[in-house]
Structure 1
């Protein structure tokens, strides 16, 4: 019954239209170097704010999926991945294009991406409801431990420095305390401003840290845009033998992407290189990797699109994002009144069922757009950045202003844009700060509730199996990150 409801909901006119807009827009955003899926989600916020729940969720997911594939277009044609998740695609995609087979490379990328996305959608459909049932038993200690677990994982995996990631997350937690204390009712860090009584709206912060910061970084980069000549597209379809060679890398890459995506704080940038390396290692013609072969494109592309469905599992069931884009999606969901977590599957069951089915359908739409747009992508990549970035800035300020028709939000987005620019410049990741702002209230409120229930006995977090497990895994993840950094530093010294 739930699947039937999902199918009917998916093909409602507004929902299907939003799928089309999100998928096509995501491909274009992902294809432009310097843009990203998170920026695409932010640019959709003025539209999302006007939509009902189901179309809003669908258009955000479609943007996420489309941008994940879009990064491969510039990777193949320009040797510059549009998104970090397409970094491994460059290794064989660009050499294949230089051999006059860019069309085949683009077909391989979209075919593998669609298969990886469909498999991850099936996984999302099967795993998420089961995990949500388990999470329905969570109480205050579990939710507090979960919020710290998610924040720590994101901090440890969002950059090369654990310390910088933790500092960024701590900044987010600190900013989340601005406003009225929900427990005592006292004012915190408002400095007498009435506008700060409700704290920081997440939308202006998202716009500033992820979108405006990128615009400022682009303006600061005085290197002229160099668009390389693309090789002839050539024939699009691989041979029957090449299709056969693709099967195992696509299936293996999809599984790797799904598994990596489910781990909070991971993402396509990790899974694509892991899938590429495993495909090379177990290939019978490993010496040809890097020269332009279909397996070298199929594995990372199936993997990074497999990551999309995997990353949505912890987001929807636990309210913990799997990567940077889903961290922005979490903020967008909250903006339109959707609180991801186990209760979402109870209170909005129809929306969840529609979302699952729409996720699978949008992979087919992505395949369609990818095939018909093959001749169009080189033209889009030739649009000068001095045309694109002012438009992005305009949409950023419109998005911030739309929230409450308040110029103060536009000013806040500008301030956080400057903060985000300097964070990026000095190696501080933005995602942990955003997650800190979002998870801060959840952590604080559930900490207070847990201590109230246990009469201020801190052992409550260690006597309950699930909360204790989260705390142990959090500690292990910190220790592992420290060990990895120390080991890497030791190797660099001995090199």
Structure 2
């Protein structure tokens, strides 16, 4: 307790609060630019912390990390481009809200959910440190493989109504993940003699191309065909209290999930946000609007995403094992300042460790205050005329992917992924399963092969407690959508189909009205204002 009080006094000093503020502002500025990740920013600014004391330097870097993770949601919501890899799940519901004229509300929900998730993650890290050490050590190759399998089963729930296309998309993601050097044997595969591909297809270039470039190409096509596209109003930035109360249970649940996934070394917000989004959807009574602009899906993805930030630092500080690439850079920062992450860090500098934990509780509050100050400025991006906006988006996407490693190959990968994403959109293939396959493919392959080698070629590791629990969860996640699909097919009996065929004309004639009614009903249930509903209908009309 004495160490905790000393840490609280240290972290609340104006110098350390100032470094947190500077870090958050810098992280938001960088995270909002596609391709410039938190890891890159931490690595670039690391030399500037050499002249600072250890706590000041770490506070600056943690502010950058948290700010960049949150800011990735801004282009994801407004432009359908994940600013950071962990924002890939945010665009599932964030961008459809922008198309409905509710970009302002989506930005506010994202900010509040990010702060909420970061706060919950910081409190959990502060309270559960000893337990987390044992939990992280209990995960071996078998457990990581089954975790990857569980993440892959999310494809089924995301692709209800287009199960086959979703599975094809996921398989394509798994195939892309195999490009590069074999993680076990060290054999080069599927590189076609291109040396720059030995490290694999970069996740960030693929992500930017798949969403950013593809969306730009689709917008170009619509503008050329219709010549009537107009900028979209961001709408109201206000979030009604009744809607916020509805979001809190899902944000709490997904925050715990995101934190738990972040604790596992090698995982992070990109996996945690998809799992959090899917679990909130699975427990919801009405799932029809998820993926179409449901605030619950947006809040779940963002809270899980930001709760994973403290989670990734648990194995970093407790075990000296980086939770992800950004945490690996933070290990370097601590080492430069004469500190060695691991169990001895607690015995040698307990006050510093608790100061870091408390900083992770304070930073989300600073992040919300900074975000509220600038959120209206970010929302004005939607007012830029489309004929100017999307060429800029296309150029920034290519430049952002090139900036990752200053590689022309990465820029070409972005363009190629954009063309692939364009044809996926035109063909009705969901893109999220491809991202999931790309993320968890290496984790699944490495975990399965290592677990099998360790057990002498036997597969009895599946019967171990943790893998078995994850297997059961995977079967449930896969089985429930299949059962729903079967029930729908059973309900569409020949008699029902004949009735439907008799009313085909009226059904087709009323399709758009039905969609508008659904949107209006959802807005009413969330206590949106009438003006927001009017913006939604106006945007739908413009799109048509």
What's the TM-score once normalised by structure 1's chain length? 0.63
1:458 corresponding residue in structure 2: none
CA distance in 2, matches of 1:107, 1:344: 38
1:218 CA displacement? 9.4
**Matched positions, count:** 388
1:74 corresponding residue in structure 2: 75
Judged with a 3 Å threshold, the aligned counterparts in structure 2 of structure 1 residues 4 and 259 are, in CA distance, closer, same or farther, namely same
Say yes or no: does 1:12 pair with 2:13. yes
Say yes or no: does 1:37 pair with 2:33. no
Contact 2:62/2:360 (<8 A) preserved: yes
SS at match of 2:72: helix
- 1:156-191 residue CA offsets vs partner (Å, 9 max, x unmatched): 99x9478768746888xxxxxxxxxxxxxxxxxxxx
1:23 corresponding residue in structure 2: 24
Root-mean-square deviation (Å): 5.1
- The structure number with the bigger radius of gyration is 2
1:329 CA displacement? 2.6
2:350 corresponding residue in structure 1: 349
Judged with a 3 Å threshold, the aligned counterparts in structure 2 of structure 1 residues 151 and 58 are, in CA distance, closer, same or farther, namely farther
1:96 corresponding residue in structure 2: 97
Say yes or no: does 1:260 pair with 2:255. no
CA distance in 2, matches of 1:168, 1:238: 47
Judged with a 3 Å threshold, the aligned counterparts in structure 2 of structure 1 residues 4 and 385 are, in CA distance, closer, same or farther, namely farther
Contact 1:5/1:350 (<8 A) preserved: yes
CA distance in 2, matches of 1:108, 1:360: 19
CA distance in 1, matches of 2:367, 2:183: 35
Q: Which runs of 5 or more residues in structure 1 are unaligned?
A: 136-141, 172-208, 397-412, 433-460, 463-469, 488-495
Contact 1:120/1:306 (<8 A) preserved: yes
2:273 corresponding residue in structure 1: 272
CA distance in 2, matches of 1:55, 1:131: 26
1:148 CA displacement? 9.6
- 1:90-138 residue CA offsets vs partner (Å, 9 max, x unmatched): 1211111222211111111111111111110011112225556x79xxx
Contact 2:81/2:208 (<8 A) preserved: no
1:239 CA displacement? 2.1
1:446 corresponding residue in structure 2: none
Contact 2:80/2:215 (<8 A) preserved: no
1:369 corresponding residue in structure 2: 370
1:51 CA displacement? 2.3
CA distance in 2, matches of 1:125, 1:166: 39
Judged with a 3 Å threshold, the aligned counterparts in structure 2 of structure 1 residues 225 and 75 are, in CA distance, closer, same or farther, namely closer
SS at match of 1:322: coil
2:527 corresponding residue in structure 1: none
CA distance in 2, matches of 1:118, 1:14: 21
- 1:15-56 residue CA offsets vs partner (Å, 9 max, x unmatched): 222211211121222222222221221222221233221112
Say yes or no: does 1:85 pair with 2:86. yes
2:295 corresponding residue in structure 1: 294
Q: Which runs of 5 or more residues in structure 2 are unaligned?
A: 152-172, 187-198, 220-229, 383-388, 418-436, 443-453, 456-460, 479-544
2:160 corresponding residue in structure 1: none
1:224 CA displacement? 11
SS at match of 2:59: helix
CA distance in 1, matches of 2:279, 2:47: 42
CA distance in 1, matches of 2:329, 2:273: 21
Judged with a 3 Å threshold, the aligned counterparts in structure 2 of structure 1 residues 385 and 319 are, in CA distance, closer, same or farther, namely farther
CA distance in 2, matches of 1:423, 1:154: 28
1:406 corresponding residue in structure 2: none
CA distance in 1, matches of 2:33, 2:276: 24
SS at match of 1:375: helix
Judged with a 3 Å threshold, the aligned counterparts in structure 2 of structure 1 residues 164 and 131 are, in CA distance, closer, same or farther, namely same
CA distance in 2, matches of 1:45, 1:69: 20
1:311 corresponding residue in structure 2: 312
1:343 CA displacement? 1.0
2:247 corresponding residue in structure 1: 246
Judged with a 3 Å threshold, the aligned counterparts in structure 2 of structure 1 residues 316 and 293 are, in CA distance, closer, same or farther, namely same
SS at match of 2:128: helix
1:230 CA displacement? 6.1
Contact 1:154/1:264 (<8 A) preserved: no
1:250 CA displacement? 0.5
1:303 CA displacement? 0.7
